[in-house]
Structure 1
Amino acid sequence: MRIAWSNWSGSVQASPQMVLYPDSIEAVVEAVQMCRREGRRLRVVGTGHSFTPIAAASDVLVSLDRMQGLVEIDAVGGTATVWAGTKLKLLGELLFRQGLAQENLGDIDVQSIAGAISTGTHGTGRQFGNIATQVAGLTLVTGTGEVIECTMDSHPEAFRAMQVSLGALGIIVQVKLKLRSAFKMRYESRRVPLSTCLEQLPALADAHRHFEFYWFPYADPCQLKTMDETDEPVSSRRVRDYVSDVLLENAAFGLLSGLCRRFPELCAPISRFSASQVPVGSRVDYSHRLFATKRLVRFNEMEYNLPADAMPAVIEEMRAVMARNRFAVHFPIECRYARGDDIWLSPAYGRDSAYIAVHMYKGMTYAPYFAAMERIFLRYGGRPHWGKMHSLHASQLKGLYPMWEPFARVRAQYDPEGVLLNPYLEKLFGVSEA
């Protein structure tokens, strides 16, 4: 009997014939071997927070929800080995109890650690790469059912492919992470004119450990968010902050979003109203409790990586196109920075980067808006975030990633029968075109 499955936003639906919940490496191996014997295909899902069909399975869907928690802590070496299905929120608390923390995280913590690294999930901060750069080792079950423990020393070529692999090289079952001691940060939110923000971008990005900003379509103010390490005492109050930041803000924005969906002509004034209500304030807490923001209002998203110095010019072009086309959009645009890396399919490969993300409320038409923004991103050498919507296929991606062909060779080596592919990945990698 087929089972109904959809991703978080509802943009992707699938009907797998079977859903498996392995609780050990041996069980994962058996799932792969079963698929090989029976000529089946499988995909692994974390929380379904990707906006593309990357995890969609019409045959076998594998969830690692029963493979969560810490495996081993190396306090001297500053590493921890964790089960791949561990959700980031749980991982943060488990590490905190050991006096440890990840150096950086994204603004959503519902993903599994394996899903986050496999899609190139990132946070913000010029000193920090995406979460995959924190990986010291991986244990995975390949498409042939072989268990491999992979590090830069043991597999110098394959490791760079496995760090951001889209789940196409194997099923990651354990992740060894490089960590640091737990630390506190001061979070500050300010409201400033977008023009002021753009003028001060280099200084703001250099002055803070973490810096990002949100600008609102058709509005002048934007929200600046900064976080910096501190020894100040914790000032967050969990219940108060949850009520104000999560329940009230999400409820209010959800109501306004519902109005925009029903009356699209209200998008511009509601965007301007939202910009005028940007929260101003600060608080201090441990890092893992400050990085993430609870998202209860559902949306679809496209995000592109760009050369870091392109950020101001891209935003000016985006504003000009929005002014001409008057897209019915009220969600703010999220802008962040990240350090470049040497991971083959990382969008930040070989360059310090800016990330710009556009969103559209669930149920509202997003295609014309996303397509117009994507054309701008591509003119500046943009590379799509693997978990977000985009329109690119193999021939285009090959031109954007210098290590595309070496990755393809490693993929064919570790999954020669295509057990781990679905139609979306076939199109992405050009497998069916070969």
Structure 2
Amino acid sequence: MIKTVQGQTWKNWSQSVESHPEKILYPATIDEVCTLVREAKQQRKKIRVVGAGHSFTRLVQTDVWLVSLDLLSGIEELDEGKMTVTVLGGTRLFQIGEELGRRGFAQENLGDINVQSIAGAISTGTHGNGIGFGNVSSQVLEITIVTASGEVMTISETMNDKYFKASLVSLGSLGIIVKVKLRMIKSPVYEYRSDKVRFSELIEKLDYLIDSNRHFEFYLFPFSDLVQIKTMNITNRQPQRLTFHHLESLVLENYLFFLLSELCRWFPRTTRFVSRLSAKAIGTTSIAAHSYQLFATPRKVKFNEIEYCIPLENMKEAIQEVREHIETNQYEVHFPIECRTVKADDIWLSPSYQRDSAYIAFHMYKGMPYERYFRDMEAIMQKHGGRPHWGKMHKREHPELLSLYPRFADFLNVRQELDPDGMFLNEYLRELFVWDKAEERTGS
């Protein structure tokens, strides 16, 4: 019997999206997923699937059936010889990291939040940092979905291969991802370093920092000339206990920052002071630990976010323009701007499709007006060839997406073939994909 909840309001993590589904279903097996899809087909119901709810868009908003894969979770197989791990779709990233870590393995790269489900992370193109690494979807060797007909389909470069590059970032529109086979590596010990530099020094050394570090990212603080830089590189040091580091992150980056954010919400004119104070508070840190312990940091302070992927060669000019625009327009924002790099891939809807990329993310504390700031930052990103992160707020529409993603029309044709009646579409996805069969066929 599939666990079912009715009459429950669903909200995403930032509480920017609210949904009132007819019912929420919690299948615990792949067979149960097949059963509920067949029932939906028979009753002509629409389905959206939710992971951790960390998308800031209306990606899973529905008033019909919402399916959670929380009970379809865990590692199914770990093959040390082939260096692969097979996990069920609802497994959270931190669970994969902890389990692989206990066995001496790891994913090669992760983002700075690890509470997403693997299916959700793949569907939205979640990424980490480091120009030698692609996004999480690029680690996928095989993906298993339940299609709109209720059948199980395994997709890889050798099975149903014509769907493979479409399935790796699909916004949950091709079917329900129930199983994923990932490439893994031997668990490295990293030295994590955090420091601050002047913006002029960052610009001077940016190419070197990107190329010489396995993982590198930096944070721009509005109204400040100070920049936080973070690097992670393999070390021979022995891994440390991280109790104090995690406690410090929890207290300084969450509880204290929450109080400062509330101050900014109530007294917006303090944002400039708080941003500069936050930048000055950055100290020098050096920690040795396993990768899965270092990639992610806890996020207790809620915010809204946009993030854009631009060609790597446009990064310097873009961040300089961002800083100048913030100074000129005096936005009331105190959250730092997160900047990362990602390797090019050949996944059709990946923002990094066929180009080494810089990802630039803008945040605004929950409850503070973000529209003007996000609109203007989005315009700068658009000017520099920006493609939106699918899980973050954006205003890009169907005609723009067709021009931004060379294989967008091909993706729509695959989507139409696998789900001709639009079972896995909601209103938001119809807006992105222009849900008209004739238009989808022609890509117009």
TM over 0.5: yes
Aligned to 1:217: 222
Aligned to 1:32: 37
Aligned-residue offset at 1:247: 2.7
Matches within 5 A, 1:405-424: 405-424=409-428
In the alignment, structure 1 residue 6 sits paired with structure 2 residue 17:
no
What is the rounded CA distance, in whole Å, between the counterparts of 2:79 and 2:312 in structure 1?
35
What is the rounded CA distance, in whole Å, between the counterparts of 1:92 and 1:316 in structure 2?
36
SS in 2 for 1:157: helix
Aligned-residue offset at 1:432: 4.7
Aligned to 1:60: 65
In the alignment, structure 1 residue 117 sits paired with structure 2 residue 125:
no
What is the rounded CA distance, in whole Å, between the counterparts of 2:62 and 2:284 in structure 1?
44
One-letter code aligned to 1:136: L
Aligned partner of 1:242 among 238, 243, 246: 246
One-letter code aligned to 1:182: S
- Would the aligned equivalents of 1:393 and 1:430 in 2 still touch at CA under 8 Å? no
Aligned-residue offset at 1:30: 1.1
* RMSD over aligned Cα atoms: 1.0
Q: Quick one: percent identity of the two aligned structures?
A: 48
What is the rounded CA distance, in whole Å, between the counterparts of 1:11 and 1:194 in structure 2?
33
Q: Deviations over 1:67-101 (max 9, x none)?
A: 11111111111101111100001110111122211
**Structure 2: which 5+ residue stretches go unaligned?**
1-5, 440-444
Aligned-residue offset at 1:242: 2.2
What is the rounded CA distance, in whole Å, between the counterparts of 1:56 and 1:109 in structure 2?
22
Aligned-residue offset at 1:403: 0.2
Aligned to 1:188: 193
SS in 2 for 1:329: coil
User: Which consecutive segments of 4 or more residues in structure 1 shift more than 3 A?
Assistant: none
In the alignment, structure 1 residue 370 sits paired with structure 2 residue 374:
yes
One-letter code aligned to 1:308: L
SS in 1 for 2:137: helix
What is the rounded CA distance, in whole Å, between the counterparts of 1:61 and 1:193 in structure 2?
47
- Would the aligned equivalents of 1:395 and 1:430 in 2 still touch at CA under 8 Å? no
One-letter code aligned to 1:272: R
What is the rounded CA distance, in whole Å, between the counterparts of 1:196 and 1:316 in structure 2?
13
In the alignment, structure 1 residue 231 sits paired with structure 2 residue 236:
yes
One-letter code aligned to 1:418: G
Aligned partner of 1:146 among 139, 144, 151: 151
What is the rounded CA distance, in whole Å, between the counterparts of 2:84 and 2:143 in structure 1?
12
Relative to the length of structure 2, the TM-score reads: 0.96
Aligned-residue offset at 1:2: 2.7
What is the rounded CA distance, in whole Å, between the counterparts of 2:410 and 2:149 in structure 1?
19
- Would the aligned equivalents of 1:398 and 1:404 in 2 still touch at CA under 8 Å? yes
Matches within 5 A, 1:92-171: 92-171=97-176
Aligned length: 433
In the alignment, structure 1 residue 90 sits paired with structure 2 residue 95:
yes
Aligned-residue offset at 1:128: 0.2
What is the rounded CA distance, in whole Å, between the counterparts of 1:300 and 1:249 in structure 2?
17
**Structure 1: which 5+ residue stretches go unaligned?**
none
What is the rounded CA distance, in whole Å, between the counterparts of 2:402 and 2:175 in structure 1?
21
Aligned to 2:324: 320
Compare 168-177 and 243-252 and name the one that shifted more. 243-252
- Would the aligned equivalents of 1:86 and 1:113 in 2 still touch at CA under 8 Å? yes
